[in-house]
Amino acid sequence: MDTKFKNKKFLVTGGSGFLGSFVIKKLLKKGVPEKNIFIPRSESLDLRKWENCMKAASGRNIVIHLAGNVGGIGLNREKPGELLYDNIMMGVQLLEAARLSGVEKFVAIGTVCAYPKFTPVPFKESDLWNGYPEETNAPYGLAKKVLLVQAQSYRQQYGFNAIYLLPVNLYGPGDNFDPKSSHVIPALIRKAAEAKKLNKKHIDVWGSGSASREFLYVEDAAEGIVLATERYDKPEPVNLGAGREIKIKDLVEIICGLMKFEGKVSWDKSKPDGQPRRCMDVSRAAKEFGFKARTDFNRGLIKTIDWYVSKERNRKTA
């Protein structure tokens, strides 16, 4: 890492989570001493409370805000108010606490859910304000979008160095496989694994299969975040993605094939598809801080499946 960061003190919220654990590894690999990275745990430092945001930011030079209350379509439909409140309170207060504490740089992590429902593909950052987000995840998407406005406002009024990144759907080892709150890839992996174990002849999948998604391997996302932390200091938001899309129907076929599940897929069309298409224009990240996703999609899926199968095997033998 640039020597100017060697002695910097980092706050990484969500640092023990799915994406956060990979970001921490990248920081350590880049030469940041472990003692210089503070990872608050929600049990002891609830960042929805102002005083805890001040405690977390105090004495830190760089904040990477990854923490969030997040889940798939099911959780977004079940708890829209909670997702809106939690994410707004954490983000807005932490950014203000960072400013008051003299933090040198704030890296805000947004979401692809902030984009309008019918954004032209590929999504360009300039399209971010051209409509309302897809309804099922709008509260979460808007809560995260507020951080962009705040970051730009603080830069304009206070000269505060806050940047804003928009990662697409992530996947990889360590993902959330809880059926109540997981995203599509871990949900499908778990369904196929459990169907095989129980000798079921079919799996049920939400929606019609016609929607498309873009997926970014979690280690690639972590690399993009650390590169932006090092090299990017502008007000414009930046997409972090792989620049490719896949229909959910094709994704299901690939995962079932990799897992050798030969049963049928029953599509529950009473459930929502979510946003019709998702695929990002990733040229700004490449131009501004040299980021490009490296992981082959199938290879990333195999690593994710292997991690889940191994975890389940170890759980049974424990």
pLDDT, tens digit (0-9, with 9 covering 90-100), for 190-225? 999 999 988 898 899 988 999 999 999 999 999 999
Q: Please report the sign of the dihedral spanned by the C-alpha atoms of residue 131, residue 137, residue 139, residue 140.
A: negative
Query: How many other β-carbons are positioned within 10 Å of the β-carbon of residue 47?
Result: 24
Strands 62-65, 105-109: pairing kind: parallel
The CA distance from 148 to 102, in Å, is 19
Please name which of 5, 152, 25, 145 lies closest in space to residue 88, comparing C-alpha atoms: 145
Q: Where are the domains of the chain?
A: 3-175+214-244+278-295
| Chain segment 142-169, per-residue pLDDT in tens | 999 999 999 999 999 999 999 999 999 9
Q: What percent of the chain has pLDDT over 90?
A: 81
- Give the type of residue at 272: P
Distance CA(193)–CA(253), nearest Å, equals 14
Indicate the residue type of 94. Answer: L
Contact 32, 10 (CB under 8 A): yes
> Binding site residues for substrate, as ranges?
191, 206, 213, 273
Q: Does 80 sit behind a cis peptide bond, omega within 30 degrees of 0 on the bond before it? A: no
- In the block, residue with structure tokens 């049974």: 316
What are the CA-CA distances from residue 211 to residues 184, 189, 299 (Å)?
12, 18, 22
Using an 8 Å Cβ cutoff, are 107 and 64 in contact? Answer: yes
HSE, CB side, 13 Å, CA atoms: give it for residue 315. Answer: 6
For 65-120, the DSSP string reads: E-------HHHHHH-HHHHHHHHHHHHHHHHHHHHHTT-SEEEEE--GGGSBTTPP
Annotated binding-site members for NADP(+): 14-20, 144, 167-170, 183
How high does pLDDT run on average in the chain?
A: 93
Please give the class, per CATH, of domain 3-175+214-244+278-295: alpha beta
Closest CA to 5 of 231, 289, 223: 231
- Is 232 one of the catalytic residues? no
Token pair 């890492």 is found at: 1
Distance of alpha carbon 8 from alpha carbon 24, whole angstroms = 14
DSSP character for 176? -
Q: Contact 278/169 with Cβ under 8 angstroms? A: yes
Feature table: binding site:
14-20, 144, 167-170, 183, 191, 206, 213, 273
pLDDT by residue for the chain (318 residues), tens only, comes to 456 688 899 999 999 999 999 999 999 999 999 999 999 998 889 999 999 999 999 999 999 999 988 777 777 788 999 999 999 999 999 999 999 999 999 999 999 999 999 999 999 999 999 999 999 889 999 999 999 999 999 999 999 999 999 999 999 999 989 887 788 899 999 999 999 988 898 899 988 999 999 999 999 999 999 999 999 999 999 999 999 999 999 999 999 999 999 889 999 998 888 888 899 999 999 999 999 999 999 999 999 999 999 988 887 776
Query: Of residues 115, 132, 140, 164, which has the active-site annotation?
Result: 140
The burial of 171, by beta-carbon neighbours within 10 Å (0-12 exposed, 13-18 middle, 19 or more buried), is given as buried
